[in-house]
Amino acid sequence: MTQQQQPRIGIVIGSTREGRFGEKPAQWIHEIARQRTDLCFELIDLRDHPLPFFNEPMPLSYAPAKNEAARRWADKLATTDGLIVVTPEYNHGPSAVLKNAFDYACKEFTRKPIGFVGYGGVGAARAVEQLRLVATELQMAPVRNAVHIGMVEFLGIWQQGKSFDDFPHLAQAANGLLDDMAWWAKALKTARETA
Ligand SMILES: Cc1cc2nc3c(=O)[nH]c(=O)nc-3n(C[C@H](O)[C@H](O)[C@H](O)COP(=O)(O)O)c2cc1C
């Protein structure tokens, strides 16, 4: 597969608030991912896509967005063959800004794989499970393996001067996630191109 044919995976930073932790795991997974030769990756920061709260007259499955920021967001998604979403957990669900970003596109998600890196008390497991349901409705294929950065690792990295390398099981989980993404991204890209 030439570099141009390699599936392109967007790594979405799912928190935009000031002082967010989210960019640390996003940069970490991006660094591991970039060592692969079978996929290419791009960090997608929701701060660069300041979407208003959803306010379109129609669901986007019926009509394209009227909002310019939403159209730019959809155009960015259209360049990807899959997503890795780096998600916090807010009140046992995903951040509002992340759910809003899912609501603000439709066909650009369809028939592409999605994987998750979660962080928080229980590695954002509850938020990730909710996002799997949202992604399924958007006709994405959620992959099984995920990275869950739990309380000990989360606080260690954020507040105790530790690094991701101090927790080698995280890189092991990341490789499982990336292997899943590679398989599904190739299979679904081929299927989309030949359908
Ligand atoms: C509104 C809100 C709700 C939260 N709820 C949870 C929660 O349900 N589970 C959890 O593990 N952490 C929760 N937290 C703590 C977050 O895990 C922590 O603030 C984390 O840094 C958020 O990610 P961010 O810094 O990238 O925005 C919550 C934080 C906020 C701001």
pLDDT, tens only, 134-164: 999 999 999 999 999 999 999 999 999 999 9
- Which has the higher per-residue pLDDT, 2 or 140? 140
> Which atom, in ligand 1's list, is nearest to the CA of 121?
11
Q: Check pocket membership of 17 for ligand 1, CB cut-off 6 A.
A: yes
Q: Confirm whether 114 is domain-assigned.
A: yes
Q: What is the CA 16 to chain-centroid distance, rounded?
A: 14
CB contact at 8 A, 73 and 103: no
Q: What is the pLDDT of residue 5?
A: 83
CA distances from 181 to 108, 136, 194 (A): 17, 16, 20
What does the mean pLDDT of the chain come to? 96
Instruction: Classify residue 34: in a domain, yes or no.
Output: yes
Question: The domain containing residue 86 runs over which residues?
Answer: 8-194
How far apart CA 133 and CA 172 sit, in angstroms, is 25
pLDDT at 194: 94
Token pair for 119: 């962080």
The response to whether residue 125 sits with its C-beta less than 6 Å from ligand 1 reads no
Task: At 52, give phi and psi (nearest 5°).
Answer: -70, 165
**Which domain CATH number covers 162?**
3.40.50.360
Domain-embedded: residue 3: no
Q: What is the pTM of this model?
A: 0.97
In a domain, 149, yes or no: yes
Q: For 62-121, what is each residue's pLDDT tens digit?
A: 988 989 999 999 999 999 999 999 999 999 999 999 999 999 999 999 999 999 999 999
Percent of the chain with pLDDT over 90: 92
- Of 22-36, 52-66, 73-87, 179-193, minimum mean pLDDT range: 52-66
Distance 89 CA to ligand 1 centre (A): 5
What is the phi/psi pair of residue 133, to 5°? -65, -45
Does ligand 1 lie within 6 Å of residue 120's CB atom? yes
Residue 53 placed within a domain: yes
d(CA 163, CA 37): 25
User: Residue 8 CB: number of other CB atoms within 10 A?
Assistant: 16
Rounded distance between C-alpha atoms, residue 83 and residue 114, angstroms: 5
Instruction: Give the end-to-end CA distance of the chain in Å, rounded to a whole number.
Output: 19
d(C-alpha 174, C-alpha 82), whole Å: 16
The domain total for the chain is 1
- Flag whether 28 is in a domain: yes
Interval between CA 69 and ligand 1 midpoint (Å) = 26
Report the Cα 92 to chain-centroid distance in Å.
18
Is 1 a member of any domain? no
Q: How far is the CA of 90 from the centre of ligand 1 (A)?
A: 5
Give the confidence band of 184 by pLDDT, cuts at 50, 70, 90: very high
Residue 2 lies in a domain: no
Identify the band that residue 195 occupies on the pLDDT scale cut at 50, 70 and 90: confident
Give CA angle at 38 (80, 168), nearest 5°.
100
Report whether 49 contacts 16 (CB < 8 A): no
Ligand 1 atom with the shortest distance to the CA of 151: 11
